[in-house]
Amino acid sequence: MYQVNTNYLKLPGSYLFSTIGKKVSAYQQENPEETIIRLGIGDVTQPLPQAVITALHKAVDEMASADTFMGYAPDLGYDFLRNAIAENDYKKRGCDIAPDEIFVSDGAKSDSGNIQELFSSENVIAVTDPVYPVYVDSNVMAGRCGNYDTHSGEWDRVVYLPVTQENNFIPEFPKETPDVIYLCLPNNPTGTTLTKEQLQQWVDYARRKGSVIIFDAAYEAYIREKDVPHSIYECEGAKECCIEIRSFSKNAGFTGLRLGFTVVPKELKSGGASLHDMWARRHGTKFNGAPYIVQRAGEAVYSKEGQQQVHQLVDYYMENARMIREGLTDLGYTCFGGVNAPYIWLKTPDKMTSWEFFDHLLDKAHVVGTPGSGFGPSGEGYFRLTAFGTHENTKAALERIKAI
Ligand code: PLP
């Protein structure tokens, strides 16, 4: 008889957002008259930039004629997109990343979940705590995390790097040296960042210890402060020890279109093995390329109009972030994030647990957020609200919270 991968059975409960979804549906069924405002999941609400829509239409028309039809895309991405990324995201920021070090994909979730395949099952991972759940869960599925302790909410083979109000959301170097370190900056869920100097210390640490950093920069477009790096390759020596993952979801609203990329520099080697060659091999075997029309849409993001429209979109959401941060602070909440990120991370009032506050907000204000404990044990006592709603809903949610 066949056997299942029992590592999957070790995962506690279902994925955070499906648990929230189930709770919200149950509430809606019992209270059909209430309109619920969702500031929980990090999905965008505004339409795609016009430059992207125009590029999509053009690419669709190309597909209608035998002369211009495009079949399978190159598995690593079309040159027109890889060149645009290298030029705009890296060269303009003084980072030396070649187009052939960029691997185009269908989004940062796939890449951040799949990248662990490059590493030995013996490797120990480190994650900031709280953290985007995909990093740990994908390593659990691969059998790399040991066993889950329901009491502490920790896996026994994962190194946790707490980021809380107490350490100003700056992860400290752990006692046990990890092999693979996941850093997400600007951070989901805390909305906090590191300065270039602080990030450089992590790059130096990884080089010293022979670790690799997986740097998830999905929220790079939201950075406003000058001393916050947009790419880890702004740090010296990062090409020797860092992989960077990016997404078109949060800057240009591609959550439904699906496009992202991962940078694996050629210098990144363990023993004689090139991670770049291994990731290329993996893509070639398991991925048949992001759709042509979507890659053309991605290229349009880098056009002059595309850039202007993306900035407007980001400004729109950052205005929500400001409203939430200032509105809740005025109400006496302690808030973090929301300055270089579309997430506001607040301390739950009256020592409520994260899920108690979730239920309270749903029940009394009909507003949905995300309980901090769903992102890791150090997220307990915190709560995440997103700035991805409309202005109207964000304002209405704040009024409802004020009323309770
Ligand atoms: N990485 C982080 C940190 C995220 O928060 C998200 C989505 O919420 C993703 C990756 C997923 O991005 P994509 O839509 O490109 O898969």
Domains present along the chain, CATH in parentheses: 11-47+305-403 (3.90.1150.10), 53-302 (3.40.640.10)
Cα separation of the two ends of the chain: 56
Ligand 1 contacts CB of residue 211 (under 6 A): no
Pull the structure tokens for residue 267.
């210098």
Pairing of strands 212-216, 242-247: parallel
Query: What's the rounded Cα separation, in Å, for the pair 236 and 240?
Result: 9
Q: How far apart are CA 181 and CA 364, in angstroms?
A: 40
Q: CA 329, CA 332: separation in Å to the nearest integer?
A: 5
Q: How far is the CA of 35 from the centre of ligand 1 (A)?
A: 27
Nearest Cα residue to 383 out of 344, 329, 332:
344
Mutation probe of ligand 1 site: the residue of 16, 17, 104, 132 with most atoms within 8 A of C-beta: 132
Q: How far is the CA of 346 from the centre of ligand 1 (A)?
A: 21
CB atoms within 10 A of CB 169: 19
Q: Which atom of ligand 1 is nearest to the CA of 132?
A: 3
Cα of 117 vs centre of ligand 1, distance in Å, is: 18
Q: How many CB atoms lie within 10 A of CB 94?
A: 9
Closest of 260, 254, 372, 253 to residue 317, by C-alpha: 253
CB atoms under 10 Å from CB of 28, counted, come to: 15
Cβ partners under 8 Å of residue 55, min gap 6: 296, 297, 299, 300
Q: Is 74 left (phi over 0), alpha (psi -120 to 50) or beta?
A: beta
Q: Look at phi and psi of residue 235 and say left if phi exceeds 0, alpha if psi is from -120 to 50, else beta.
A: beta
Q: In this predicted structure, what is the pLDDT of residue 4?
A: 97
Q: Are 387 and 324 in contact (CB under 8 A)?
A: yes
For residue 221, report the distance from its CA to the centre of ligand 1, in Å. Answer: 13
Instruction: Classify 107 in phi/psi space as left (phi over 0), alpha (psi -120 to 50) or beta.
Output: left
Is 187 near ligand 1, meaning CB less than 6 Å away?
A: no
Q: Which residues in the chain show pLDDT less than 70?
A: 14-15
**Does the CB atom of residue 133 touch ligand 1 within 6 A?**
no
CA separation for the pair 35, 393 (Å, rounded)? 11
Q: Which residues pair with 370 in a beta bridge?
A: 384
Ligand 1 touching residue 246 (CB < 6 A): no
Residue 188 CB less than 6 A away from ligand 1: yes
Residues 270 and 262: their CA atoms lie apart, in Å, by: 18
Interatomic CA distance for residues 387 and 322, integer angstroms: 9
Residue 15: predicted pLDDT: 67
Nearest CA to ligand 1 atom 5: 188
Q: Is 218 in the pocket of ligand 1 (CB under 6 A)?
A: yes
Residue closest by Cα to atom 4 of ligand 1: 218
